[in-house]
């Protein structure tokens, strides 16, 4: 259990570096505690596993100044447990009325609801990054464009771990410029035409 907690914290710290996460960014966690224990998703939720993951992630999130969102299971349409503080910082997300429990929400979301300061549930989020433990499918809660992050820790217990961060969309096509040149010019030197 100590290793699960430590690895969870290490995953978030590494993702923060790879994804260039800033204070106030949101990270979504999708977690199958059943998969961590070696069982099939949704069959053997484990509160003790949820506790260790929660402690690891909350410790690292606190250090990094990140908001957290814990994805519920499919029985709650993958709603998310968040803090009131996140909702105040991001008022575009809509609160819903439900209390996650292990059989409808999952062990992780249920634990988070009971241990976050000022918890609430929202229907959807557009997170800057996410960690998926046990293939719970968090993509619906990530901003576009998601970029896979290859982290050093590939599993927690028996559960497969995937992660992603997001970046702004690159728009424009062949003539677009995405970074200023050192000279301060913002268009290719060979381009003498003007946009109309």
Q: Where do the structural domains in the chain lie, given as residue ranges?
A: 2-166
Whole-structure pTM value: 0.88
For the record, the structure tokens of 151 come out as: 């982290």
**In the chain, % of residues over pLDDT 70:** 93
Average pLDDT over residues 58-84: 97
Architecture in CATH of 2-166: 3-Layer(aba) Sandwich (3.40)
Per-residue pLDDT band for 184 (boundaries 50, 70, 90) equals low
SS3 78: coil
Are 156 and 52 contacting, i.e. CB atoms less than 8 angstroms apart? no
What confidence tier does 196 reach under pLDDT thresholds 50, 70, 90? Answer: very low
> Hey, is 164 helix, strand or coil?
strand
Cα torsion 156, 162, 167, 169 to 10°: value is -160
Alpha-carbon distance of 102 to 104, in angstroms, equals 6
Mean pLDDT value of segment 177-181? 86
Residues in the chain: 196
pLDDT-derived band of residue 187, with 50, 70 and 90 as boundaries?
A: low
Given a cut of 80, whether residue 145 has pLDDT beyond it is yes
Q: Is 194 helix (H, G, I), strand (E, B) or coil?
A: coil
């Amino acid at each position: 259990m100590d290793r699960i907690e430590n690895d969870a914290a290490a995953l978030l710290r590494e993702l923060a570096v790879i994804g260039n996460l800033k204070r106030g960014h949101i990270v979504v966690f999708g977690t199958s505690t059943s998969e961590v224990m070696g069982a099939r998703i949704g069959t053997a939720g484990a509160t003790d596993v949820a506790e260790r993951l929660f402690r690891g992630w909350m410790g690292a999130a606190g250090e990094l100044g990140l908001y957290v969102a814990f994805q519920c299971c499919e029985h709650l349409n993958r709603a998310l447990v968040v803090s009131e503080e996140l909702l105040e910082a991001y008022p575009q997300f809509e609160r819903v009325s439900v209390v996650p429990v292990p059989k409808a929400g999952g062990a992780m979301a249920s634990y988070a609801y009971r241990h976050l300061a000022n918890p609430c549930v929202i229907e959807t989020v557009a997170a800057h990054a996410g960690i998926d433990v046990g293939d719970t499918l968090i993509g619906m809660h990530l901003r576009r464009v998601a970029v896979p992050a290859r982290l050093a820790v590939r599993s927690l217990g028996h559960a497969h771990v995937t992660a992603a961060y997001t970046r702004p969309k690159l728009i424009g096509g062949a003539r677009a410029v995405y970074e200023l040149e050192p000279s301060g010019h913002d268009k290719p030197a060979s381009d003498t035409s003007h946009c109309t």
